[in-house]
Amino acid sequence: TRTIKLAVIPGDGIGPEVIEQANRVLDAVLAGGEVELARTEFTLGADRFLATGETLPPAEQQAIAEHDAILFGAVGGVPGDARLKHANIERGLLLKLRFDFEHYANVRPCTLFPGVESALRDPGAVDFLVVREGTEGPYAGNGGTLRGGTPNEVATEVSVNTAFGVERVVRYAFEAAKARPRKKLTWVHKTNVLVYAGSMWQRIVGAVSSEYPEIAVDYMHVDAATIHMVQDPSRFDVIVTDNLFGDILTDVAGAIGGGIGLAASGNINPDGTFPSMFEPVHGSAPDIAGQQKADPTAAILSAALLLDHLGLTTEGDRVRDAVRSDLAARGSAPRPTMAIGDAVIAAIPARV
Amino acid sequence: TRTIKLAVIPGDGIGPEVIEQANRVLDAVLAGGEVELARTEFTLGADRFLATGETLPPAEQQAIAEHDAILFGAVGGVPGDARLKHANIERGLLLKLRFDFEHYANVRPCTLFPGVESALRDPGAVDFLVVREGTEGPYAGNGGTLRGGTPNEVATEVSVNTAFGVERVVRYAFEAAKARPRKKLTWVHKTNVLVYAGSMWQRIVGAVSSEYPEIAVDYMHVDAATIHMVQDPSRFDVIVTDNLFGDILTDVAGAIGGGIGLAASGNINPDGTFPSMFEPVHGSAPDIAGQQKADPTAAILSAALLLDHLGLTTEGDRVRDAVRSDLAARGSAPRPTMAIGDAVIAAIPARV
Ligand SMILES: CC(C)[C@H](C(=O)O)[C@@H](O)C(=O)O
Ligand SMILES: CC(C)[C@H](C(=O)O)[C@@H](O)C(=O)O
């Protein structure tokens, strides 16, 4: 028996509900096999901050680091909650984990499953993967405020990009493209405006691409990429882009791929120096929390990515097959959170 | 007779073709009236750069400044043209005009006209206006390269935001919302990550909103805004956002509003210290240039915004009515550039 140490951070709002189902699916797919999960739950997020004033105490971060992988729900309190004004759970917890644990490849697959209604009239065959840089760029947290709160305030945000950081994610994306049948990579930036970062990205994509002659590479400005994603998403195979563009493009992808309730992600540390973290792309949606209204499919598909990452690709495929047949049978219309978990579990194909 | 001095910059690629039709429509709608146009054409863009090495000579910029308004086509050479590698026509010409002429309110209406097929399955009633900040933010051009071309390269891009710059565009957006029936303003940023610029935007939107109690204000993160735009665009009335988010959101808007061939824009200097500039949102599309394949509707609707800006709102409405009836009759399927110009001209309602 192989024991996998899994850190679970359900978080706030709908996080616990969707993670509950993801955990049930993990148990079901692993039942009777050689792998067992040893879970540690970490109570972190806005609720924890409100209760204790803590965001991510170093000892807990250290404890999380000692796991093999992280399953993450969603964090964030009720918008406008004055007690959270200076909390910034996103930067202090979610982004801190991504940055400190070197989650440089934030992978977000977008597949339109049969039975799912896209927001698009004629989506075609949607099946692409966005590889979003996860540890630098506009998310670096650099910047500041001069003469804050006055009519002369100047606020800056510095996008910090390194050849080291860009090259490693670009390489990851080329490898991802190589492992897929279509062998296409689209890199997205805004080189005509952001000339410093843009030209470095261009140089590095060019250099790495010479090692991958079998991959067809093209470039799009981020604005044009959103148009293509809305008008003809089937043209994409693998997309690689920076942290902020990736944030935006993957929400567009979520919207066209049947909704953010289906969008999974993995924050991958490909070097294995820290645990990778798997989370639905959606947020904590406090307005519907605790009502069994949230779709756990994104969390379940994130758990499938977690299985893949741990080398359990057969189990990952069994989860995706179960989701696929559930969606084919029942579509993506709203159902209670637990009912979707039940249906996916019932649909898990037997081991072969 | 009132004479309006109009600077015309057709630019590259499809720019000249679409501007030709916009000019014909302007002549037609003003024919027999009290207003006449005195046009000066400026040959600027990638072709000019290739011919002379010049992007925007100061004397020409000065000459343009002495006009009442600018009609702009599109600029940019063939992607990958090595001779343009260090040209950056976008920064040196288009953005330079926007910045130097204080085009701080970049207005981009998104209307789904009857007869136009949206990329969305069920778009609902789409009729919103994006007010994009045009003179600062990530477009400031600040940033740099350290150890360029080496494995240790660091490239930065600095988003520079000022209370002065944010307040003036936010005020403009509130005024725009006030002039519209729904009286709704959505401001878009990424306050949970870009905390310095985000909190300044938040403070300023809050302060200005207290002067506009009749306007309902809400906030969205930019990623969520793209989802809403794809899934339920009818919820938007006026959107105000920064330069980069506005660039991206208006391309999403273009895609859902029937395509970028219909998307008009005005780069407005509301203080009148420099001429405002009107341009289709689309680019120069060198791949289809000179083939009468480009849709001039975006350029024609930009000319309508130009008329509005000059106080000729009746004429602006007549142009929009003509476009509306052309689209209702013939849809937005491809037609030759000139044919669309002819059809719009034929559809211009008589003066009343
Ligand atoms: C919550 C937020 C910080 C986060 C991000 O911007 O990365 C989210 O939008 C996401 O896409 O995972
Ligand atoms: C050409 C480019 C510099 C420009 C921009 O980014 O503003 C364009 O995309 C636009 O939206 O007008």
Q: Which residue has the tokens 């040209």?
A: B87
Q: Which residues have a Cβ under 8 Å from the Cβ of A92 and sit 6 or more positions away?
A: A55, A56
The domains of chain B, with CATH numbers, are 1-117+259-352 (3.40.718.10), 118-123+134-257 (3.40.718.10)
Q: How far are the Cα atoms of A298, B87, B305 from residue A289, in angstroms, in the given order?
A: 16, 52, 45
Q: Which residues have a Cβ under 8 Å from the Cβ of B173 and sit 6 or more positions away?
A: B105, B131, B185, B187, B238, B239, B240
| Whole-number Å distance between alpha carbons of B59 and B56 | 8
**Per residue in A124-145, pLDDT tens?**
999 999 999 999 999 999 999 9
Among protein residues, the one with the nearest Cα to ligand 2's atom 1 is B90
**Per residue in A21-62, pLDDT tens?**
999 999 999 999 999 999 999 999 999 999 999 999 999 999
Q: Compare all CA atoms of chain B with the CA of A84 and give the residue at the minimum distance.
A: B192
| Whole-number Å distance between alpha carbons of B91 and B85 | 13
Does the pLDDT value for residue A347 go beyond 90? Answer: yes
Residue A251: the pLDDT is 97
Residue ranges of B 303-342 with Cβ closer than 8 A to chain A: none
Give the binding-site residues of ligand 1, using a 6 Å CB cut-off. Answer: A 90, 94-95, 247, 281, 283; B 192-193, 223
Residue A223 bears catalytic tag: yes
Residue B342, ligand 2, Cβ within 6 A: no
Neighbours of B36 (CB within 10 A): 12
Closest ligand by atom to A138 CA: 1
Across A220-248, average pLDDT: 97
Q: How far is B1 from chain A (nearest CA, A)?
A: 42
Q: Which of A49, A164, A221, A251 to mutate to test the interface with B (most CBs of B within 10 A)?
A: A251
> Going residue by residue through chain B (352 aa), what tens digit of pLDDT does each one get?
999 999 999 999 999 999 999 999 999 999 999 999 999 999 999 999 999 999 999 999 999 999 999 999 999 988 888 898 878 899 999 999 999 999 999 999 999 999 999 999 999 999 999 999 999 999 999 999 999 999 999 999 999 999 999 999 999 999 999 999 999 999 999 999 999 999 999 999 999 999 999 999 999 999 999 999 999 999 999 999 999 999 999 999 999 998 999 999 999 999 999 999 999 999 999 999 999 999 999 999 999 999 999 999 999 999 999 999 999 999 888 999 999 999 999 999 999 8
Residue A253: the pLDDT is 97
Q: Count of residues for chain A? A: 352
Residues of B in contact with A230 (CB under 8 A): 119, 230, 252, 255-256
Residues of B in contact with A191 (CB under 8 A): none
Residue B281: the pLDDT is 96
Among protein residues, the one with the nearest Cα to ligand 1's atom 1 is A90
Does the pLDDT value for residue A86 go beyond 90? Answer: no
Residue B90, ligand 2, Cβ within 6 A: yes
Give the containing element (helix H, strand E) for A277.
strand A276-280
Residue B85 bears catalytic tag: no
Residue A321 bears catalytic tag: no
Is 0.75 surpassed by the pTM of this model? yes
Residue B68 bears catalytic tag: no
| Whether A248 contacts chain B with CB within 8 A | yes
Residue A223, ligand 2, Cβ within 6 A: yes
Q: How far is A66 from chain B (nearest CA, A)?
A: 27
| Whether B82 contacts chain A with CB within 8 A | no
Contact call for A158 and B160, based on CB within 8 A: no
- Reading the block at residue B213, the tokens are 């109690």
- Reading the block at residue B40, the tokens are 């000066």
